[in-house]
Structure 1
Amino acid sequence: MPVDFYQEDGCPGCLAVKLTINQLNIPVNYIHLDMEANEHLKPEFLKINPAHLIPTIVDDGFNLWESRAITRYLANQYAPDNELYPRDAKKRAKVDLMLDFDLGSLYASATQWMYPPVLQNVPPSPEKEQAMIEKLKLFDQLLSNGHYAAGDHLTIADFSLAASLHTINSAGHNVDQYPNIKSWLNRLENELPYYKRLVTTHINAVTDWFAPLRKHLK
């Protein structure tokens, strides 16, 4: 029975889940929600997710949202012995660390810079951008310790962080200026046959949305 996956192409968390789904070859029923049309506020979706967020999955009656929780669940449920989310406690802790770093530091700082110009029609804050840059520099430094975000193996942390980085890049901050980040993203594209297709779809969906921000960066 396929997993019902409620998503939208411009959603960074949805991209992370899509990458996980494709890596693990999980059968999925893709359900597009038009957030601008408030489809996420319809009663039938609120019954599934009262927080009215995407991504959301329903797996045989089990409802779950928040992208990092979803990728952890999918790896545990459909590939419990896969290195994508390793069983070893220390290796798993490193993956969790990088997922939390993305959520609480890198992506959190990026949202403070990216979203106010779009949602509040205000100029981007140089201070917020600098705070984001410091997190990007730290991640670039951390990548010098291995080929992937959490070491020498591909994990769900790579998918979450890659989704954040591609979104930041689409917003107008060139992430190619960080050499280890650039090499890592190129490695993912070269090694994963589905990667470029999914990332391109995300970029195409989100680029116009960030136009109010990028006009300040020219």
Structure 2
Amino acid sequence: MPITLYYLPLSPYCRSVLLTARAVGIDLTLKTVNLFDGEQLKPEFIQINPQHTVPTMVDGDLTLWESRAICMYLSSQYGKDDSLYPKDPKARAKVDALLHFDLSTLAHRWGLVFGPVKLGKLSKPSQESVDKFHEALGWLDGFLSHKKFAAGTDHVTIADHVLVANISSYQAAGFIIQDYSNIYTWLQRCKEAIDGYEELNGNDAKKYGDFVKSKITEK
């Protein structure tokens, strides 16, 4: 039975799932949900996912709609080995820690930067939110010190898939990732090492950046 992914390519969270699926070698049946047109609120989609968010994955009798959980599942269920998501508790904990950091700190603080602008409450991000976001980037830059890939491995893990989808989008939106030398070096390494990076993430990260810039106005 095919695995169906309801997604929007503009979303970095959806793109991290695409990268993971490519890495484990599975094909997804892709169904676009246009959030801008309110397609996520259609009754047939709410029946699948009451939270009406993307990405949403359906694999047989399993339905998931948290991107990091989907990446964890795909790598555990379909990975040829455990390199993407280690079975060793200590190695896995390092990956999990980065996934939680991305969810609770990095992506959360980005939401405080762009959320009010996207909703039309502000014409540009508040300086406080930008400062907090850069604080989080500084922490990530420290985490990546002397590491080839995010979890301290010499190969890509799902921590890289999740982080690279977000970081590349922030860079495209005008946040100067080059100022963080470890993040910048890691990002360039991921672009070379991740299968299908440009096809599945790079092009749409640029579109996401353009979308963010289109919403920010100076007054």
Unmatched tracts of structure 1, length 5 or more: none
**Alignment match, 1:197:** 199
Unmatched tracts of structure 2, length 5 or more: none
**Alignment match, 2:86:** 86
SS at match of 1:17: helix
Deviation digits for residues 100-159 of structure 1 (CA, Å, limit 9, x no counterpart): 001111111111112212212413111111111111011111101411111113111111
Task: Give the counterpart letter for 1:178 in structure 2.
Answer: Y
**Alignment match, 2:178:** 176
Relative to the length of structure 2, the TM-score reads 0.93
How far, CA to CA, are the matches of 2:142 and 2:202 in structure 1?
26
**Alignment match, 1:36:** 36
The equivalences for 1:118-197 within 5 A come to 118-122=118-122, 123-152=124-153, 153-197=155-199
* Equivalent residues of 2:173, 2:210 under 8 A apart: no
How far, CA to CA, are the matches of 1:117 and 1:216 in structure 2?
11
How far, CA to CA, are the matches of 1:205 and 1:18 in structure 2?
16
SS at match of 1:36: helix
How far, CA to CA, are the matches of 1:94 and 1:216 in structure 2?
41
Sequence identity (%): 37
How far, CA to CA, are the matches of 1:11 and 1:127 in structure 2?
25
The 1:80–1:24 alpha-carbon spacing in structure 2 relative to 1, beyond 3 Å, is closer
Relative to the length of structure 1, the TM-score reads 0.93
Deviation digits for residues 148-186 of structure 1 (CA, Å, limit 9, x no counterpart): 111113111111111111221232212122111111111
The 1:207–1:146 alpha-carbon spacing in structure 2 relative to 1, beyond 3 Å, is closer
Runs of 4+ in structure 1 off by over 4 angstroms are none
Aligned length: 217
Q: Does 1:12 align with 2:9?
A: no
How far, CA to CA, are the matches of 1:107 and 1:37 in structure 2?
24
Computed over aligned residues only, the root mean square deviation of the Cα atoms, in angstroms, reads: 1.7
SS at match of 1:40: helix
How far, CA to CA, are the matches of 2:177 and 2:40 in structure 1?
31
